[in-house]
């Protein structure tokens, strides 16, 4: 067993405090990682504040982890000491179900072991539930450790481990490429990476944001069009426009209004996860044979493919690096959409 510094929260309305946690002893297939940076995903906020009603406290969030391998178990072949590596939303899965066999671990039929807030045996994580990346070290089985290519700085790479794969996977699944009109709703952590990825895949990219405040950035990151959803004219002008709409918004939206922006056979993919049902008129779906779909992160092989794609296209997240004592403030700012475009904790400040 080893110890690590971490930032933990003890109640839905609690503040983050510095604690010491234990990490399991290095098993034959385990990798010990010195964490350098951990991104702050809105899912961390939903969990820390118990907005999904399933949080076990004390909770150490963080599933956008970038660091350096500090030690490896005797049977590890994929990584070696000194390697630049990342860990995303999952640290294990059954490895046997149809989804896992297909490399789609985020859809593990027995439920993947998430990087934080999943009940596990004490031998896996002392304390009985997984503790995430707001920490100085983590132990992860080698199959869930990704290689971060040279050419992506570690602080800009960290958010790719969740935001990057969460956008890359549906963009690929729904065949994004030249000739496709793609809209991204929400220019936040997920959304801004989605703009970069969709453009690099060759699509015509539109951002649908609450206001035009971030328009210059959106165009700089690769969008050709940028609209404010606070302007009703937007919904009239863009009716029937898109092949694919990706909703990254963390709050409830009038999804019906957005469904009408889909063209024939268009799909609206839900990524944002507020704890509220969606309302769509059957007529809106039936007209133009539209689809309403969802997508959850992405598998481990595709996560590596995404990192390689990002390195090839010079894509990293736009980050604001903060010290660990500013996590509470960063949460409040993220909820207020006041982030450009991902807060990343510098683990050296722990
Ligand atoms: P984020 O950085 O906070 O960005 C969310 C964006 O949504 C904001 O920047 C804002 O964009 C827009 N927004 C926020 N509140 C809004 C409101 N009341 N009305 C309209 N638009 C609003 O969050 P994130 O980290 O990208 O995560 C977004 C959501 O995705 C969260 O619910 C998270 O849990 C979920 N998520 C899902 C998966 C998955 O696998 N499906 C993976 C990771 C995260 P504008 O300022 O441009 O309007
Ligand atoms: Zn996330």
- Per-residue pLDDT tens for 311-323? 999 999 999 999 9
The answer, yes or no, to whether residue 12 has pLDDT greater than 90, is yes
Atom of ligand 1 nearest to the CA of 46: 34
Supply the mean pLDDT for the chain. Answer: 97
Q: What percent of the chain has pLDDT over 90?
A: 99
Q: In terms of domains, do 89 and 169 share one?
A: no
Does the Cβ of 115 fall within 6 Å of ligand 1? no
Candidate from 105, 162, 205, 248 with most ligand 1 atoms within 8 A of CB, to mutate: 248
Q: In terms of domains, do 322 and 290 share one?
A: no
Range of the domain at 176: 164-294
Please give the structure tokens belonging to residue 345: 């904790």
The answer to whether residue 33 is domain-embedded is yes
Q: In terms of domains, do 85 and 227 share one?
A: no
Query: How far is ligand 2, taken at its centre, from the CA of residue 91, in Å?
Result: 13
The answer to whether residue 8 is domain-embedded is yes
Query: How far is ligand 2, taken at its centre, from the CA of residue 160, in Å?
Result: 9
Query: pLDDT by residue (tens digit) across 260-277?
Result: 999 999 999 999 999 889
The answer to whether residue 118 is domain-embedded is yes
Q: In terms of domains, do 168 and 148 share one?
A: no
Q: In terms of domains, do 87 and 12 share one?
A: yes
Q: In terms of domains, do 224 and 341 share one?
A: no
The answer to whether residue 44 is domain-embedded is yes
Nearest CA to ligand 1 atom 10: 186
Atom of ligand 1 nearest to the CA of 187: 47
The answer to whether residue 309 is domain-embedded is no
Query: How far is ligand 2, taken at its centre, from the CA of residue 253, in Å?
Result: 19
Q: What CATH number is attached to the domain comprising 110?
A: 3.90.180.10
Query: pLDDT by residue (tens digit) across 324-349?
Result: 999 999 999 999 999 999 999 999 99
The answer to whether residue 48 is domain-embedded is yes
Q: What CATH number is attached to the domain comprising 276?
A: 3.40.50.720
The answer to whether residue 342 is domain-embedded is yes
Query: How far is ligand 2, taken at its centre, from the CA of residue 55, in Å?
Result: 15
pLDDT at position 342 is 98
Query: pLDDT by residue (tens digit) across 137-169?
Result: 999 999 999 999 999 999 999 999 999 999 999
pLDDT at position 252 is 93
Residues 198-223: what's their mean pLDDT? 98
Does the Cβ of 79 fall within 6 Å of ligand 1? no
Q: Taking ligand 2, which is a single-atom ion, which protein residues have CB atoms under 5 Å away?
A: 41, 43, 162
Helix ranges (DSSP H) in the chain = 42-48, 98-101, 154-157, 163-173, 189-200, 215-221, 232-237, 255-259, 282-286, 300-313, 327-335
The answer, yes or no, to whether residue 1 has pLDDT greater than 90, is no
| Contact present, 148 and 164 (Cβ < 8 Å) | no
Beta strands across the sheet bearing 181-185 = 225-228, 204-209, 181-185, 242-247, 262-270, 291-294
The answer to whether residue 311 is domain-embedded is no
Q: In terms of domains, do 153 and 182 share one?
A: no
Give the number of the ligand closest to the Cα of residue 47: 1
Q: In terms of domains, do 126 and 176 share one?
A: no
pLDDT at position 105 is 98
CA distance 335 to 46: 10
Taking CA 191 as the corner, what is the angle to CA 115 and CA 248, rounded to the nearest 5 degrees?
70
Q: In terms of domains, do 37 and 185 share one?
A: no
Atom of ligand 1 nearest to the CA of 163: 43
If pLDDT is split at 50, 70 and 90, which confidence band does 221 have?
A: very high
Q: In terms of domains, do 343 and 222 share one?
A: no
The answer, yes or no, to whether residue 285 has pLDDT greater than 90, is yes
pLDDT at position 10 is 98
Mention every residue, 6+ apart, whose C-beta is less than 8 A from residue 120.
113, 128, 129, 130
Atom of ligand 1 nearest to the CA of 190: 26
Cα–Cα separations (whole angstroms), residue 77 to 176, 248, 305, 349: 34, 36, 19, 31
pLDDT at position 208 is 98
Does the Cβ of 194 fall within 6 Å of ligand 1? no
Taking the CA atoms of residue 12, residue 14, residue 18 and residue 19 in that order, the dihedral angle to the nearest 10 degrees is -60
Does the Cβ of 188 fall within 6 Å of ligand 1? yes
Please give the structure tokens belonging to residue 64: 């956008």
Domain count, the chain: 2
Q: In terms of domains, do 23 and 150 share one?
A: yes
pLDDT at position 255 is 96
Q: In terms of domains, do 174 and 147 share one?
A: no
């Amino acid at each position: 067993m080893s110890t690590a510094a971490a930032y933990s929260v003890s109640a839905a309305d609690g503040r983050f405090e510095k604690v010491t946690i234990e990490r399991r002893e290095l098993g034959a297939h385990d990798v010990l990682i010195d964490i350098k940076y951990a991104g702050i995903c809105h899912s961390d906020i939903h969990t820390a504040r118990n907005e999904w009603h399933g949080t076990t406290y004390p909770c150490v969030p963080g599933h956008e982890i970038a660091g350096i391998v500090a030690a490896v178990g005797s049977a590890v072949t994929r990584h070696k000491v000194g390697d630049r590596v990342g860990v995303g939303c999952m640290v294990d899965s059954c490895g046997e179900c149809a989804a896992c066999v297909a490399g789609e671990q985020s859809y593990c039929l027995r439920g993947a072991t998430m990087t934080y807030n999943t009940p596990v045996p004490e031998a896996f994580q002392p304390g009985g539930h997984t503790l995430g990346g707001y920490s100085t070290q983590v132990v992860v089985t080698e199959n869930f450790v990704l290689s971060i290519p040279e050419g992506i700085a570690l602080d800009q790479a960290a958010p790719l481990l969740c935001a990057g794969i969460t956008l890359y996977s549906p963009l690929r699944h729904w065949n994004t490429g030249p000739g496709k009109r793609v809209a991204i709703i929400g220019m936040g952590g997920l959304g801004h990476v989605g703009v970069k990825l969709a453009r690099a895949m060759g699509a015509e990219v539109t951002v649908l944001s609450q206001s035009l405040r971030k328009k210059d950035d959106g165009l700089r990151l690769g969008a050709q069009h940028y609209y404010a959803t606070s302007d009703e004219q937007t919904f009239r002008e863009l009716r029937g426009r898109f092949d694919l709409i990706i909703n990254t918004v963390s709050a409830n939206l009038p999804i019906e209004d957005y469904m009408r922006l889909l063209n024939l056979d268009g799909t609206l993919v839900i990524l944002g996860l507020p704890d509220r049902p969606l309302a769509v008129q059957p007529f809106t779906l039936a007209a133009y044979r539209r689809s309403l779909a969802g997508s959850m992160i992405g598998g481990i092989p595709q996560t590596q493919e995404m990192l390689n794609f990002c390195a090839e296209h010079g894509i990293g997240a736009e980050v604001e690096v903060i010290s660990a004592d500013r996590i509470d403030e960063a949460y409040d700012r993220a909820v207020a959409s006041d982030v450009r475009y991902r807060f990343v904790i510098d683990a050296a400040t722990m």
